[in-house]
Structure 1
């Protein structure tokens, strides 16, 4: 089996296939805009809302009075008193149930809390998120035994910081190459861990670790590991262009003995546990992107109104006004996506539980890309002051606005927990899953002629029923989506939803044409699949924005203004979708692929002459073997 085939086999084996409810996004990619899955939204639980609002009020006061984001940026560390204060608030137990000493917040209020904290300091937001969204609490909540939950969740709720260790120096998005080993001892009472983990957010200060390791002949397995176990060494605290306060390092395991009772789930289930944890854990990144968008909007509005050029505020010049409109409309849409997806995650009743894998992945992908664009627009709006640091601005008597810091801090979100490229491939694989199941051996590279012929008959029967539904449907009826056509001066959102419904059918047809054209080679057409995903993301965002606006109107919360924001966002999104549809079939993918191969072969190395490479000597990827300068323990104790 080739390396690529092995990677695909490992990834496929880890996919969670059994869900109790439908997925709006999956249906959208199949050409069915099932608005009823999102609208009308049930009201959040009143008790949960009261609990969440009370905690947010306390957290807001703490963030305003105790968190100095500028100090964290200067010192590149979160002060111990901030950690202690967050412990007193119960912030380390936001997602942990009350039965285990936590606050038991819903996903909705947990993510609102992260947006709030992240606006005060993205580094503090990352600390809390890594601890609860992907650290020990979440996988134990989903897969842990009662004994494990009783042993570790109260500790985490009290502030025992946790970290998630999957990535290795030579392993990123290809888990089949995972090298860290967990070898059972002879009596089966423990495992012995050996290996190196890279980019361990919270790993430098963590008390508890979730570690993914290969059990020989059984596969990737998850463990809870005490960070002070003999044989664990933090070899480096990494530094980055942004998030300068995060405690992210390199952790080595040398003959680390872990009790068998600390294994999470069964042997070989580690990757499935990791991916399932990320289904809702990914929502922490859109949460902080929403907070960033709100700050961009506030700062941009105030600056564009105060700064004058050519006799009037710059916000009244179209070049700046268009950027401000983009920030406002996009922030509204991102909050709509976050709230709706969080509420879907909160619906725990079996009859209402939704498959939100694609929704969460779309939220992460879309929010991280759009938040980066909003921050870039804010820097551009502020000109030289956008590029200047907050400390420098304050030193010469101006308001210290950390716009350039936000740009640096947000950049990691397009890489964290699955890069944008990997997220597009993940979503595409889920989006075309129905086609692959139907086509079966028809698109398989290894199927025989007889198998392909049999699969062709099966696929023909399916598409004979499915394709006609993509040419006509309820979305074309003139009275469809009437809830969103409100008299009294509100913009008409119904026509945006009808447009999105037709676009979803067009997207499904385009995916089918791609399948017909490339068959088994479709999965290699990553640029095509990426555009398919980006179209789906825009349609999901349009729908969420309309649903959110109508919900705010029904609550009497700035309904007309919400409709205006949703209308503006949909108009902007429709332009982006039109461009993406055009580039599905009219692009430079072929020439680009040819040129990239030539570049890799060194045929254009002559173009690199005339520069000095400022990189230091060394290998592209560090050797996992400890060197003479390593093995230094750099743990920072936090009381």
Structure 2
């Protein structure tokens, strides 16, 4: 095994096993021991946040992996990777929920303690709105975590969409919460915990929370990639139904045949989007005052499907290039998913504990009101936006049309190295900076 890997510590790897007599070969998963001969950690990476992470540039040169280190069967590597992918993505909502809980605690305590203009800052509307957002979203984050985790525990065959939505929405909202907490804390939110402690104040690491949470929008699938992956699943049925209708290379006869097939699919599918439970005033009445939100979710889900169809009809195969449109489709779906999770959790709490359940209803109701505003704004932006202008301007920027705008600055990174470092296979010429962890007898 010859390889250089940026941003990992050897533990599990995938490799292609050649097909041979008695071996089906294919992509397979292995456990690679970190102290195996040929493995060198050449650099230890440093990041904006997560300062304690074990992450570096690792070179593998002629590393031999014994057969018993195979995970599963030969050729099952991709299956193993996809199976663990959902679990990895669901770890992000757990971190987001925990961070939101801590942010709520700090916001509550600080906003009662800090007095401005004769009353605690939490009593001022500008700050009260932020506290309300943090509390309501904190509740929804835990609801999304519980619902998606329950789905995973039930062993459902496919929760890719749910896991991806949970990861995407939770990572985005946790960052917004942390940013709002910085604003509530003011200059102290921007100050490090060490600095606060040094001058005799409580060491609250708000700025660290911002730094540590930021990576969640990048790893386990960046938010942009997640939106495209989820959107692909959303439009897959349309692409399948459309067939050659969406193929710009298909001739008239092929398109006519595809149109006949698609008409049968849409003749059954489209009428289902006209009317649903969301139109009935008594639907979901077991959820009390939250029923109105679930009716909104149901109506919006059908509206979302209709808009997806309109996009498919308008752009056909070019829809996959309309990433702004697809991203908003996914973001609407994520808000609806979170609203549903919050309502379901609140009702479960009401049944288990009427007192706490009433408080849960208040939080779920507040969250759904806030999420409704976001969803409606996203619906409006599906067709009223600057996407085409943005793409054109970005193209001009890349071509240097506005390079004069960059005049007057000093870029200290120039001359420090290439954008992407080159790599050549072979043995390492660097010192191995891997940490060595002592076993119990050695300690």
TM interval, short-chain normalised: over 0.9
2:184 to 362, 372, 381: 381
Q: Is it true that 1:400 corresponds to 2:197 in the alignment?
A: no
Which aligned pairs between 1:74-223 and structure 2 lie closer than 5 A?
193-200=1-8, 203=9, 209-214=11-16, 220-223=27-30
Equivalent residues of 2:61, 2:427 under 8 A apart: no
| 1:12-70 deviation per Cα after TM superposition (whole angstroms, max 9, x unaligned) | xxxxxxxxxxxxxxxxxxxxxxxxxxxxxxxxxxxxxxxxxxxxxxxxxxxxxxxxxxx
Give the 3-state SS of the residue equivalent to 2:63 in structure 1. Answer: strand
Q: Secondary structure at the match of 2:412?
A: coil
Structure 1 residues 467-476 or 391-400, which shifts more? 467-476
CA deviations 1:78-137 (Å, max 9, x no partner) are xxxxxxxxxxxxxxxxxxxxxxxxxxxxxxxxxxxxxxxxxxxxxxxxxxxxxxxxxxxx
Deviations 1:590-611 (A, max 9, x none): 0110111111111111111111
Partner SS for 1:633 = coil
Distance 2:210 2:238 in 1: 39
Counterpart check, 1:246 vs 2:43:
no
Q: Report the Cα distance in structure 2 between the residues aligned to 1:498 and 1:252, rounded to whole angstroms.
A: 55
Deviations 1:497-529 (A, max 9, x none): 001110111100000000001111111111110
Counterparts of 1:550 and 1:354 in 2: how far apart (Å)? Answer: 27
Q: CA offset at residue 223 of structure 1?
A: 2.0
The residue matched to 2:180 in structure 1 has which SS?
A: helix
Q: Does the residue aligned with 2:47 lie in a helix, a strand or coil?
A: coil
Cα distance in 2 between the residues matched to 1:627 and 1:195: 9
Instruction: Give the secondary-structure state (helix, strand or coil) at the position aligned to 2:30.
Output: strand
Query: How much has 1:408 moved relative to structure 2?
Result: 0.3
Which of 401, 419, 423 aligns to 2:226? It is 423
Inter-CA distance 266–514: structure 2 relative to 1 (3 Å threshold): farther
Please list, as runs of the form range in 1=range in 2, the aligned pairs for 1:436-475 lying within 5 A after superposition: 436-475=239-278
Counterpart selection for 2:114 from 304, 307, 316: 307
Two-structure CA RMSD over aligned residues (Å): 1.9
1:471-510 maps to which residues of 2 (within 5 A)?
471-485=274-288, 492-510=289-307
CA distance in 2, matches of 1:601, 1:214: 40
Structure 1 unaligned segments of length 5 or more: list them: 1-192, 486-491
Q: Match of 1:637?
A: 436
C-alpha distance after superposition, 1:606-636 (max 9, x if no partner)? 1111111121521111112279995321111
Instruction: Measure the CA separation in 2 of the matches of 1:514 and 1:581.
Output: 13
CA contact (8 A) 2:175 2:213 kept: yes
Q: Secondary structure at the match of 2:433?
A: coil
8 A contact 1:344–1:354 mirrored in 2: no
Secondary structure of 1:620's partner? Answer: coil
User: What secondary structure, in the 3-state scheme, does the structure 1 residue paired with 2:379 have?
Assistant: helix
- Residue pair 1:222, 1:270 contacting (<8 A) in 2 also: yes
Equivalenced residues, count: 431
Q: Note closer, same or farther for the CA distance 1:286–1:438 as it changes in structure 2 (3 Å cut).
A: same
The match for 2:419 is 620
1:391 to 177, 194, 213: 194
TM-score scaled by structure 1? 0.65
Give the secondary-structure state (helix, strand or coil) at the position aligned to 1:212.
strand
Tell whether 2:84 aligns with 1:277: yes
Per the TM alignment, residue 478 of structure 1 is displaced from its structure 2 partner at its CA by: 1.9
1:434 matched to which residue of 2? 237
Aligned to 1:590: 388
Shift of 1:378: 0.2
Instruction: Tell me the residue number matched to 2:141.
Output: 334
2:22 aligned residue: none
Specify whether residues 196 and 300 from structure 1 end up closer, same or farther in structure 2 by C-alpha distance, changes over 3 A only.
same
Unmatched tracts of structure 2, length 5 or more: 20-24, 439-443
What SS class does the counterpart of residue 325 from structure 1 fall into? helix
**CA spacing shift, 1:268–1:596, aligned 2, 3 Å:** farther
SS at structure 1 position matched to 2:4: strand
